[in-house]
């Protein structure tokens, strides 16, 4: 596949997913769209370095994550308000369900980025453990441990 066709394929397949991930991480649609574009500009620039097109999804998420770091000049993501992304219950929820959603959002937001990042990469981006390890530059076993701990911390916070 030539470079143009591969790039078009990546944009078509993953643009919405990359945007959604950045939206959740940043809590700002405009900034997420800007960084989505920055992600694809950088992907185009370094497309020849993508050795295995089957690993393109994780490669793009790694670029997106790095773009957040470049934007804020730090190694972790800023705290985001997941409420800004929208309520998945579409307004038809009972008061108890809304309270549960708010409690869940608050619990996820309160996680240290060490645990929040791999959890969101799994739940929002849909990456598997190997892809998350590649994106974060850590071992697969570390990803599994961090996700396990993140889920336990969220569960403990929601049971209170």
Q: Is the pLDDT of residue 23 over 50?
A: yes
Cβ-contact 119, 155 below 8 angstroms = no
CB atoms within 10 A of CB 46: 11
> pLDDT by residue (tens digit) across 35-92?
999 999 999 999 999 989 889 999 999 999 989 888 876 434 444 444 444 444 445 4
Model pTM greater than 0.75?
Answer: no
Q: How far apart are CA 22 and CA 60, in angstroms?
A: 12
3 state SS of 92: coil
Find out whether 111 and 150 touch, Cβ atoms under 8 Å. yes
Mean pLDDT of all residues belonging to the chain? 81
Residue 4 backbone phi and psi in degrees, to 5:
-60, -45
Q: Please give the CATH number for the structural domain made up of 1-80.
A: 1.10.1740
CB 108 within 8 A of CB 82: yes
Start and end residues for every CATH 1.10.10.10 domain found in the chain: 92-160
Contact (CB, 8 A) for 113 and 77: yes
CA distance 62 to 42: 11
Q: What kind of architecture, by CATH, is found in domain 92-160?
A: Orthogonal Bundle (1.10)
93 or 9, greater pLDDT? 9
Please determine, for residue 16, whether its predicted confidence score (pLDDT) is greater than 90: yes
Percent of the chain's residues with pLDDT above 90? 39
């Amino acid at each position: 596949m030539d470079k143009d066709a591969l790039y078009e394929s990546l944009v078509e397949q993953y643009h919405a997913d990359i945007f959604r991930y950045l939206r959740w991480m940043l809590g700002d649609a405009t900034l997420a769209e800007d960084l989505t574009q920055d992600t694809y500009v950088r992907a185009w620039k370094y497309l020849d370095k993508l050795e295995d097109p089957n690993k393109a999804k994780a490669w793009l998420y790694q670029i997106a994550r790095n773009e957040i770091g470049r934007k804020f000049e730090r190694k972790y993501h800023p705290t985001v308000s997941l409420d800004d992304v929208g309520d998945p219950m579409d307004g038809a929820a009972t008061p108890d369900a809304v309270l549960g959603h708010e409690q869940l959002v608050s619990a996820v937001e309160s996680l240290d980025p060490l645990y929040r990042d791999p959890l969101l990469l799994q739940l929002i981006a849909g990456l598997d453990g190997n892809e998350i390890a590649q994106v974060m530059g850590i071992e697969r076993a570390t990803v599994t441990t961090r996700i396990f701990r993140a889920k336990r911390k969220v569960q403990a916070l929601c049971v209170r």
